[in-house]
Structure 1
């Protein structure tokens, strides 16, 4: 009695305050684009259908509820017509102001269809229908560069570009007033809502064609050798732009992009013989008098260092080798003897050179999760009498593939070590919000005299040494093979990490590249056997494309300012906005179509209807990729994308034909 009558207004007020609350309205996530602005990841809208059955007037509700229940039952196909009728009527009778009709998400075309149904056609305020927007991330190129693109979950955890650039992609959520009611919550539109600010797009340096080649070449070798994982990085020498980054790990179902081995901690391993480049760089800097023609006696292939035996891969040994041949044949004993001769009494000097080359520091890469290098020092407790010679051939130190590649890229770039980049721009539509260019990490990692020797040795590896199987008659390749034994339970076992790092064309470097194949099985497990062929396949493709770009240029054509813009098909509202912005006349009449085709008409454009009909294949030729994905996805079609470009050139299913939901439509870009 006291609570209800004497203190009633107080508790009613408190109840109302607790019932009304602000809820975020999520922003649309930005796109991730390739170097030519093909869409690598985008967000498409879907909806859940809710209902306030108390809103509609009695005559509207009573005359439409039976038809509405029938349509819901037929559309969802999960419950009977009677189930939906009873659910809606019971909710109205009990005064429930929110019910979710079905948890299944619908697309935009389905939403448009439902807005014409009884009661729903009265709209949100008079009919009570509530379409709750849910966005899904879609990758037009499927699993291509999947781990590089990455993901982010509801807890804001993730990987790759989606996670690293989440602050830019996510945008700023808005908010609206909601009321807690039985069964959920209902939005209250009172003018206080804040519209969300949609996320920015990020433009990457990834080349879709080269990424495709890298993944296919890597997959073939992994599948053939049964390796545990592999990765490939292709980078432009001068700019540091990463054009391809492929990572494939072994699972029960095959190989998938399960982790970024190129950058992260799981890919940080003892580099093996690819590290000999750093050791020889230190040697030539410390003792510039050493010539490539100087000789080293590597003996019978076995060499005792303290209480351990170092061996070369050739049974019986190489005997006497020149310094150049030591590198070309990847003689462990030859490198070890050179290190002992010149750094045996100055071991800290060797480490100082490695630090000077930047091998003890991260690169400050744009993506989260870059591994930290592991580099020993003579002051460490675990620096042993064999550590100097062990480090010299790529053991007792750890680097990620990207960090190793950065050193090779510096040699190709005349000694300038630069920071690799994978994102060029952050954009809002066509406006560049922020641009990125590579940063110089070291103006000169070594002298020109040292660079000359290193380049000659790297070319010799492919011309005469351990990678002569990838020698090309069309262009020169420079690089180094690596085969490092793996450590398990603290002991080295007969499992290997095979690698190849280098650059091409050797006489005028355009690209640097590294390939890692971890734990290959079979007889041929060396870097030259399994990693170098992947490098060669990618290099051939990149070089062929480079030649095509250097065809003789035609005389420059002065653009015709009177020519019509390239508009072929799309959203009527979008195309009208573009034409109005540039002051171009259009003819639309009383058209009420959402999608149109465009044809020139004298000095104006004429829009013709391009209707999207339920259960019919739409005509998306001439549309932008995102418009095409939006329309086809709303027609319940699985989409495969081929080619590179901004517009759809062809589609595999003829427009207007009946949709077979078990089939996939392929669209070709140009």
Structure 2
């Protein structure tokens, strides 16, 4: 009996506890719903709506003659608010819309798109991403005319989210120099180094969080983004093309690990071409790293450093090029270290020591003159600025390493070893700047690769090369150094560079590679110099690292690349040959020279210039201009989906935009505006169709030179 009463009591207590807990839950729900309801509704509203950035369009990157090297093209992602349209509009258009979407994207059936949209409408979802594939501007215009969509954003619910994609019209040409910027704001090249100019200023807009994505809310509070500035580089596209092709050919011929080329204008410091290629597989080379500037390219230079040793020797002594030194059988020992030549030269002059690139000769000269005070030799290297970075415009410049007697690794052989380009490290760009100073009559200038920051035609900032050292050495030393470098090409280790058209001065280099702390039989081959030697216009350096075929010396491996690029530069620069005949200035026309293009842009230009412009149809995007006596008439240029557009008289950028958006593959030849197209306007576009457009400037066709100006323009996606 007592057990039964105990059980009943426990059940009653448990039941009472459950009831109390249930009442507590009901009370809490009511409290939250009625007492704190406003607070939680306000919090939910704050979480539901938020501001997010609208990214600005990045600025363009131009070559020295203002050809586009990198630009941003607009693409769109299609989304939809199926709850906006009225019942009858939705009912009448959903079948046709689903069929259009199925045909356009080609990935799902019409029933799939119909179910997806109807289900979203029934569940009152205000944001549905139709497809992740991006569409171009012409596709967007066509899609805006489809059922339901044609009612627009506010009545039809279609949402076109604009996204910019970076496009390189010249493909991989100068790709590593142009560089990149990833989502984490990390990158390389000009895109990274000049990001604060190119990026512009992002705007912002109110977005509503929804299943499937964020829907923009255009309530008037949105801030429009400001597009980025353009940058104009010093790069010559034609010379860049030759530099890359010559380097690629040398790398594949010698099965080398990597290489780089830099071509610079002597007096201005402007870099006209810079190419970097690394091995990605058998016979395959890509621009994987900036070996010309960065840390991976900072190596022991070898014999090209002998110019600095000879400069220090001539500055600190009264020696002449006709003085002699005995190199014996081509071998010498200093403090247990052995210096060797490829063969014995016996007693030779200082001129011949440099021409033959004698390790023994240079090592003995420096050891005999600076052996009692090696710091004095190092001080000369510091005076020449070889221990400091150049302050180059692009991020990632390597810091040179010049050993001093205070370093713990300094030993008795260090002085003679440094004299021939070992136990120190310097980048190709820093080596070139030093040689360029000799060509520039002793004035050491800072290399530059960007000339201007621009907004349209307005120059916002201009860059000129800084003078790093107004006089690197005496005029007497300069004259002797120039003779030595000319002798290297005339009768020394680079005789294969000798040309009947112009003189070259320079120095070959062959440096043994250090792998795992040991010198190996792998070499870094190089040639650095300038041309024409009697009136220097360009300086150039070529590095070919670890050639694996029979050729192992700078004169055999690197010098041919120098020759090919020098021939091209000399051929196209008429100022080197003879002064150009001055032409009388043309009388400026009363009206601007307008032809064809985007109506909004040309109208804005006319307004800025105060020219009366009369559009025939203000709704048209593309027009052709008829210049009249005191005004211009704008006639529409119809662009039909699936048909070849008429791009005559348009700029290359506008022509590329229209043709690429129709799915055409484009080849362009010449400079200026389009004067002819190989496929007539109105012809139906077939898949994979190519079209060639010919451009002219001032009524004269620019003749292509050995294919350098003929471009194969790939699609951006």
Normalised by the length of structure 1, the TM-score is: 0.97
Taking the aligned partners of 1:498 and 1:215, their CA distance within structure 2 comes to: 17
1:539-578 equivalences in 2 (<5 Å): 539-547=566-574, 553-554=580-581, 556-578=583-605
- Corresponding residue SS for 1:131: strand
Taking the aligned partners of 1:440 and 1:451, their CA distance within structure 2 comes to: 18
Taking the aligned partners of 1:555 and 1:587, their CA distance within structure 2 comes to: 39
- Corresponding residue SS for 2:197: helix
Taking the aligned partners of 2:120 and 2:672, their CA distance within structure 1 comes to: 49
**Cα pair distance change 1:351/1:548, threshold 3 Å:** closer
Partner of residue 90 from structure 2, selected from 22, 38, 61:
61
Is structure 2 residue 287 aligned with structure 1 residue 261? no
**Cα pair distance change 1:558/1:37, threshold 3 Å:** closer
Is structure 2 residue 101 aligned with structure 1 residue 75? no
Partner of residue 432 from structure 1, selected from 459, 462, 467:
459
User: Contact 2:525 / 2:558 at 8 angstroms: preserved in 1?
Assistant: yes
Deviations 1:163-222 (Å, cap 9, x if unpaired)?
A: 100111011100001111222211111111111011000000000011111111111111
Q: CA deviation at 1:650?
A: 4.1
Taking the aligned partners of 1:305 and 1:195, their CA distance within structure 2 comes to: 71
User: Which sits farther off after the overlay, 115-124 or 326-335?
Assistant: 115-124
User: Contact 1:140 / 1:641 at 8 angstroms: preserved in 2?
Assistant: no
- Corresponding residue SS for 1:90: helix
Partner of residue 334 from structure 1, selected from 352, 361, 372:
361
- Corresponding residue SS for 1:462: helix
User: Contact 1:272 / 1:394 at 8 angstroms: preserved in 2?
Assistant: yes
User: Which sits farther off after the overlay, 197-206 or 548-557?
Assistant: 548-557
Q: Which residue is 2:76 aligned to? A: 47
Q: Which residue is 2:515 aligned to? A: 488
- Corresponding residue SS for 1:106: coil
Taking the aligned partners of 2:285 and 2:686, their CA distance within structure 1 comes to: 31
Is structure 2 residue 302 aligned with structure 1 residue 278? no
1:6-155 equivalences in 2 (<5 Å): 6-155=35-184
User: Contact 1:38 / 1:646 at 8 angstroms: preserved in 2?
Assistant: no
Is structure 2 residue 659 aligned with structure 1 residue 632? yes
User: Contact 2:617 / 2:635 at 8 angstroms: preserved in 1?
Assistant: no
1:26-425 equivalences in 2 (<5 Å): 26-252=55-281, 254-287=284-317, 289-314=318-343, 317-425=344-452
Taking the aligned partners of 2:580 and 2:546, their CA distance within structure 1 comes to: 47
User: Which sits farther off after the overlay, 654-663 or 244-253?
Assistant: 654-663
Q: CA deviation at 1:319?
A: 1.0
Deviations 1:315-368 (Å, cap 9, x if unpaired)?
A: xx1111100000000000000110111011010000010011011100000000
Q: CA deviation at 1:592?
A: 3.5
User: Which sits farther off after the overlay, 196-205 or 299-308?
Assistant: 299-308
Deviations 1:128-163 (Å, cap 9, x if unpaired)?
A: 111011111100111110100011111111110001
User: Contact 2:616 / 2:633 at 8 angstroms: preserved in 1?
Assistant: no
Q: Which residue is 1:658 aligned to? A: 684
Larger radius of gyration: 2
**Cα pair distance change 1:610/1:551, threshold 3 Å:** farther
Taking the aligned partners of 1:668 and 1:377, their CA distance within structure 2 comes to: 60
Taking the aligned partners of 1:147 and 1:652, their CA distance within structure 2 comes to: 33
- Corresponding residue SS for 1:143: coil
Taking the aligned partners of 2:390 and 2:459, their CA distance within structure 1 comes to: 25
Deviations 1:499-531 (Å, cap 9, x if unpaired)?
A: 000011111111110000001122212100011
Q: CA deviation at 1:58?
A: 1.4
Taking the aligned partners of 1:653 and 1:378, their CA distance within structure 2 comes to: 71
Is structure 2 residue 543 aligned with structure 1 residue 513? no
Q: CA deviation at 1:603?
A: 4.3
Taking the aligned partners of 1:658 and 1:470, their CA distance within structure 2 comes to: 53
Taking the aligned partners of 1:100 and 1:66, their CA distance within structure 2 comes to: 18
**Cα pair distance change 1:229/1:653, threshold 3 Å:** farther
**Cα pair distance change 1:558/1:296, threshold 3 Å:** closer
Q: CA deviation at 1:649?
A: 4.3
Unaligned runs of 5+ in 1: none
Taking the aligned partners of 2:377 and 2:694, their CA distance within structure 1 comes to: 55
Q: CA deviation at 1:647?
A: 3.0
User: Contact 1:141 / 1:641 at 8 angstroms: preserved in 2?
Assistant: no
Taking the aligned partners of 2:692 and 2:56, their CA distance within structure 1 comes to: 30
Q: Which residue is 1:596 aligned to? A: 623
Taking the aligned partners of 1:569 and 1:491, their CA distance within structure 2 comes to: 65
Taking the aligned partners of 1:62 and 1:435, their CA distance within structure 2 comes to: 60
**Cα pair distance change 1:487/1:510, threshold 3 Å:** same
Taking the aligned partners of 1:417 and 1:431, their CA distance within structure 2 comes to: 31
Taking the aligned partners of 2:274 and 2:551, their CA distance within structure 1 comes to: 25
User: Contact 2:93 / 2:147 at 8 angstroms: preserved in 1?
Assistant: yes
**Cα pair distance change 1:163/1:105, threshold 3 Å:** same
Q: CA deviation at 1:453?
A: 0.8
Taking the aligned partners of 1:236 and 1:555, their CA distance within structure 2 comes to: 23
Normalised by the length of structure 2, the TM-score is: 0.91
- Corresponding residue SS for 1:414: coil
- Corresponding residue SS for 1:48: strand
Taking the aligned partners of 2:577 and 2:67, their CA distance within structure 1 comes to: 23
Please report the RMSD computed on the Cα atoms of aligned residues, expressed in angstroms. Answer: 1.6
Q: CA deviation at 1:591?
A: 5.5
Q: Which residue is 2:706 aligned to? A: none
**Cα pair distance change 1:291/1:138, threshold 3 Å:** same
Deviations 1:573-616 (Å, cap 9, x if unpaired)?
A: 22222223323344433454211222334444333332222122
- Corresponding residue SS for 1:102: coil
Taking the aligned partners of 2:149 and 2:134, their CA distance within structure 1 comes to: 17
- Corresponding residue SS for 1:104: coil
Unaligned runs of 5+ in 2: 1-28, 697-717
User: Contact 1:568 / 1:597 at 8 angstroms: preserved in 2?
Assistant: yes
Q: CA deviation at 1:489?
A: 1.1
**Cα pair distance change 1:597/1:78, threshold 3 Å:** same
**Cα pair distance change 1:655/1:130, threshold 3 Å:** same
Is structure 2 residue 443 aligned with structure 1 residue 443? no
User: Which sits farther off after the overlay, 543-552 or 629-638?
Assistant: 543-552
Taking the aligned partners of 1:366 and 1:558, their CA distance within structure 2 comes to: 36
**Cα pair distance change 1:354/1:649, threshold 3 Å:** farther
